[in-house]
Chains A and B, each alone.
Chain A
Amino acid sequence: MRGKTAIVGAGLSEFGEVPGWGHFELMAQAVERALDDAGLKKNDIDGVFAALSPAGLVSATVSEYLGLHPKVLEGTMLGGSSFINFVQWAALALDAGLCEVALITYGSNARSGGRRPGGMVPTPYEAIYDMRLVNGYALAAARHMHQYGTTRVQLAEIAVAARGWAAKNPKAMVRDALSIDDVLSARMVSDPLTVSDCCLITDGAGALIMTRADRAKDFPNKPAYVLGVAADASHDQIAQMEDLTVTGAARSGPRAYEMAGMGPSDMDVLELYDAFTINTLLFLEDLGFCKKGEGGGFVEGGHIAPGGGLPVNTNGGGLSCVHPGMYGIFLLAEAVEQLRGTAGARQIDGAETALVHGNGGTLSTQVTAILGTENTL
């Protein structure tokens, strides 16, 4: 599968606060931009990969909305990681010749439409305790702090780093300065996480166009080749997670690296699903950038902020750029920008490889993808 397919088009809708636009309208805006970006017409699309929360016949709705009769329809709902997972299945469908042009898309007016994220099916052994999405992540953070001495200041470093990147991204929703003290003194939502440890709730949509690698160079923009991709699920409800300090990324990551023939030290830029600050910390550990338990020390001193040692979440992340319920598609779009070299003030010089890691549910589903430029083939 390595290098056999590529992302050749990417588009984002207006995002942040976009009142008066519905899910599918925002999505169509992103699709329009992705098609323009790839120089394709909508009828060129013959594979549709889409998910929305709560789940419906989403890929059928997208097809109906765009007036398509796709040969491949996929809509597996894994939460926010769904879109990284779609890269795997689109790559396989393209490589098998089942379709020629795959569309991966998502849209939501979670902010203006007033629907809060986390619209999962309530699980019978959780709902009675009024367990919200944020509580699950707080439990993971509390356990990590207990087991490894991780501090709230270290978690705050992650929010501050994300804001630093957002300041370099004119499209990021929140760009004003944020200090560690700001994070610590923000309103507590679920101990130890304050509102500044939590992602934004925005409107927004994204769309990606994938084709086989043999025609990837026929498109106007530099392709981002799929070098590796792998998924893992460890639980649905977080009480069933074997160890709250170790996510499925510890399994999806090594499989994706193996497929790509690369390791953590080969990654030029990281886009990690930061629904909460603890996510970034857990994924840095589980994906091999530091040892288990050492994530807190690793992020200190602005190590993942602009000018630090490792560029992570260069668009500002879910914490400061955009997060309309499910964020996965935006991770991929940012990786594509970085690999094309078109990320403006936040561009990582000479970025040839990008690690994209998606998360869904309450640390439930984990999908890792490794993308690269032509030089990595």
Chain B
Amino acid sequence: MADTIGLGPDQIYRDNLESGEFKIQQCADCEKYVFYPRHLCPHCGSSSLLWKSASGRAQVYSTTVARRRPDRGGDYNVCIVELEEGPRMTSRVEGIDPDQVTIGMALRHAIADGGDAGPFIVFNPDNSGEA
């Protein structure tokens, strides 16, 4: 059975991250991009979801500074990022102070080490000047 049906989309996503690749799904039927990974397209219901390399370009849709006591690690950023392909994801912006993150800020992705939780996607400000 496992030979024909393969792995579920969540596991494939994580395996891709382990290999250093940030891939998201695109629906073969309605052509919309999908994140988080699913078995059925949330737009049209199709199960023909294809893996595509994400450009990694994104912008901040909304952002907050989660306040935390310094002895527990200090303040950190939590944001919702809109990928260039359309879907949004929860993430955080690194490389600048959490209160310097602004809505609309251009970002590039990076793969962070989550230890036992596995790798995960974070973002850095995109200073390349390209739109």
Contact = CB atoms under 8 A, between A and B. Distances in A.
Interface of A: 124-126, 128-132, 135, 138-140, 142-143, 146, 187-192, 237-240, 244
Contacts of B62: 139-140, 142-143, 146, 244
A142 B90 contact: no
A237 B87 CA distance: 13
The secondary-structure label for the interface of chain B is strand
A190 B92 CA distance: 14
Interface residues of B, number: 23
B67 A238 contact: no
B10 interface: yes
Contacts of A139: 62-64, 78-80
Given A128-B114, A129-B92, A188 B78 contact: no
Interface in B64-98: 64-67, 76, 78-80, 88-92
A126 B89 CA distance: 9
A239 B10 contact: no
Nearest to B112: A128
B67 A190 contact: yes
6 contacts: A139-B62, A188-B65, A190-B78, A191-B65, A240-B36, A244-B80
Contacts of A238: 80, 90
B78 A191 contact: no
A239 B64 contact: no
Contacts of A132: 66
Nearest to A242: B88
A135 B92 CA distance: 12
Contact of A126 (B67, B90, B117): B90
Given A139-B80, A244-B80, A191 B99 contact: yes
A122 to B, nearest CB: 11
Nearest to A134: B66
Given A128-B120, A139-B78, A238-B90, 15 more contacts: A125-B89, A126-B90, A128-B114, A129-B90, A129-B91, A129-B120, A131-B78, A135-B78, A138-B64, A139-B64, A143-B103, A146-B103, A190-B65, A239-B80, A239-B88
